[in-house]
Structure 1
Amino acid sequence: MKAQINGIQQLGVGVEDLQEAWKWYREHFSMDIRMFEDEATAELMLAHTAGKTRDRRAVLALNMQGGGGFEIWQHTGKKPEPINFEIQLGDLGINIGKIKTENVQAVYDKFSASELNLLTPISKDPAGNDHFFMKDIYGNMWEIKNQEGVFRKKEKSLSGGVLGTIIGVKDMDTSLKVYQEILQYDEIVYDETGVFEDYKGIPGGDKKFRRVLLRHSDVKQGAFSPFFGQSVIELVQAFDYEPKDIYEGRIWGDPGFIHLCFDINGMDQFREKAKAIGYPFTVDSAKAMESFDMGEAAGNFAYIQAPEGTLIEFVETHKIPIVKKIGWYIDLRKRGYHPLPKWIMNMFRFMRVKDKK
């Protein structure tokens, strides 16, 4: 099987209180589709959890406008340890999550009316796309960015799911090797160096940066690719600032952006490719079991660590719930990995979690 990236499945968000955080993300980001909710022990992540198994609670939440989801993740076996400094643009790791929308102005107006922490006005990035930056109540930074194409137009939500991330790197050319060769982001939208007006208002955003925006040139053909849609990765390197490691002294799952996860096909091929390029899997569930059970879903997962420290997860999905009440699940190994019919993915809306008004 060919090593194939199908799209961003989810951005991991470590929190101190899962239910409180998820409620906030439902209210403001419409991340209200519960694909799975699970409480278990992370037994295979020893490389990134200080060599100890860790009890955790997690939920995978989606937005019916499409895009990647949030894996909202909370340590339950230890006290989650928040970061003890304010992240500056260019610090090493995932700085900012990108959220897509077809109407930047409407989202800006909604967030302003809700008195959220807007860091910048609406401006244009170097490619001419409208966007703005904000912080959530947990200190995580988000870019709300213009991106055409929603999965389900009948939704009331003004914004969709995850479009990508902004990642701080120590050496641009070294990190590009991972994102271009392993993650297959083969198209450079822009590669510019300077002080950028649209970054001003972000902590540290008034400094000089090299910023490179990457995207895939092809249309993805995996089972969920029509739902995930196009994704982008923006790498930033600071020149007049010594960046800090966002997770230095902390472990995977502690509050903040903990990983970026890609839906893939061809786990065996990715294993060999990553190893050949010099970034072998640090975690590999397929070597421990045939299929990893995530409660209501199943599959194989693996991790690599990019040069700047970002944890990148690969998930090859085997089974997902469609309508849990009647026990309707799809086993992708039996039907093949080409795109699912849109009407099936539209059924995700029946897994919506509704809050009482």
Structure 2
Amino acid sequence: MESYITGVQQAGIGVPDIDKYWPWYSKMFGLSVAIFDDRAEAALMTPYTGGEVHSRRAVLALNMAGGGGAEIWQFTSRTPGSCSFNPVYGDLGLFALKIKTRNIKSFVALAQSAKAEVSEILTDAKGRGYAWVKDPMGNIFQVVEISEGWFGENGNLTGGIFGAVIGVSSVDKSLPFYQTLLGKSGVVFDEEAKGDKFVDAGSPAVRRLVLSKTPGQVGAFSQLLGGIELELVERKDKAGKRIFDDTRYWGDCGFIHLCFDVLDMEPLQKVLNKAGHKFTIDSKGTFAMGEAGGRFAYVEDPDGALIELVETHKIPIMKKYGWFLDLTKRKGNKPLAKWMFKVLAMASPKAKAMD
């Protein structure tokens, strides 16, 4: 199957105050380099914001060791809401974001020293060590020890976001959607097991399937973003609750979308349309996000989880000197040179240190 997705570009995290929470994501996950810090109206998102146009501030923060970023998102025109219940493993939608680490023992020690709520070290069906950790708002992250697919060494224990734990009503129903979306991918493991007590509120039996896409060599950001891993979780005891229910706006506190970097939006749209998954939002042309820009679209998985798709057209390398890279004029689809990302990181604003 043709693949039009290179990696996880970012995941949206709604917060009540970017300046308060960004330092935590920087300390815990190395998400410290801002590709953009933008204030604007979210005019195209009204289907998910109560039919009204709302204003927001958004920071796209990257860890240059590799992996996707976090789009830390704050309403500026309304007080953000939050989920009316505490989601548990197998509830429907974006339950947790996956972060890779070089050393899970060292990461858990870091989390404990920062007084974060963190689980014991666990082992998955592939034999990898992992742990769950909660941010100050109670959002859950799964930190997995991975040796391959790193972009560089920058002193951080972790890389960026490389996937998500997604609750589904039926693995069999959701798997074709994600396989169609990712293109070339494979099942790492598919098992029935008890959930982890840190996240499941009573250890219900679950089916969990992990779908993986290995890092590619096609696409400007393919080496930086690395591979993709999605964990689909289906509760066996009862139907899970929908995390992004009708009472919540896109942009409210919590995980608001999972975003993939797209090589070519037009053929991907045709593939998804043929499979019965139409875009619910589509900017169609280039949409500015601060100094960056590109075409973006949204599609829902079978249970309504919001998946963002972005075909990047422009990024700032050194904004101060007017150096912007127009990706629409590049010949071929080779990865960008590593030195460009180093220059971008040096020239970009950084998160403040935690108090």
Normalising by structure 1, we get a TM-score of 0.94
Amino acid at match of 1:311: L
Q: Secondary structure at the match of 2:108?
A: helix
Equivalent position of 1:326 in the other structure: 321
Contact conserved, 1:49 with 1:252, CA < 8 A, in 2? yes
Runs of 4+ in 1 over 3 A off after TM superposition: none
Distance 2:174 2:350 in 1: 38
Is residue 246 of structure 1 aligned with residue 243 of structure 2?
A: yes
Equivalent position of 1:230 in the other structure: 227
CA deviation after TM superposition for structure 1 residue 3, in Å:
5.5
Contact conserved, 1:89 with 1:205, CA < 8 A, in 2? no
Give aligned-pair identity as a percent.
Answer: 41
CA deviation after TM superposition for structure 1 residue 113, in Å:
1.6
Is residue 285 of structure 1 aligned with residue 249 of structure 2?
A: no
- Residues 180-224 of structure 1 deviation map (CA, whole Å, 9 limit, x = unaligned): 11222620000101225xx22223361100000001156241101
The CA RMSD over aligned residues, in Å, is 1.5
CA deviation after TM superposition for structure 1 residue 64, in Å:
1.3
Query: Gaps spanning 5+ residues in structure 1: where?
Result: none
CA deviation after TM superposition for structure 1 residue 55, in Å:
0.9
Distance 1:205 1:160 in 2: 31
Query: Out of 341, 344, 353, which is 2:337 matched to?
Result: 341
Amino acid at match of 1:277: A
Distance 1:74 1:258 in 2: 11
- Residues 113-135 of structure 1 deviation map (CA, whole Å, 9 limit, x = unaligned): 221101x2112101111101111
Normalising by structure 2, we get a TM-score of 0.94
Aligned residues: 349
Distance 1:54 1:354 in 2: 25
Are residues 44 and 145 of structure 1, via their aligned partners in 2, closer, same or farther at CA, if it must alter by over 3 Å? same
Distance 2:122 2:205 in 1: 18
Is residue 315 of structure 1 aligned with residue 310 of structure 2?
A: yes
Distance 1:69 1:35 in 2: 9
Distance 1:213 1:309 in 2: 19
CA deviation after TM superposition for structure 1 residue 71, in Å:
0.3
Contact conserved, 2:3 with 2:184, CA < 8 A, in 1? no
Amino acid at match of 1:91: D
Q: Secondary structure at the match of 2:107?
A: helix
Distance 1:183 1:150 in 2: 20
Equivalent position of 2:257 in the other structure: 259
Map of 1:1-357 to 2, 5 A cutoff? 4-118=4-118, 120-148=119-147, 149-153=149-153, 155-184=154-183, 186-196=185-195, 199-204=196-201, 206-217=203-214, 219-248=216-245, 249-286=247-284, 290-336=285-331, 337-350=333-346, 351-353=348-350, 355=352
CA deviation after TM superposition for structure 1 residue 276, in Å:
1.0
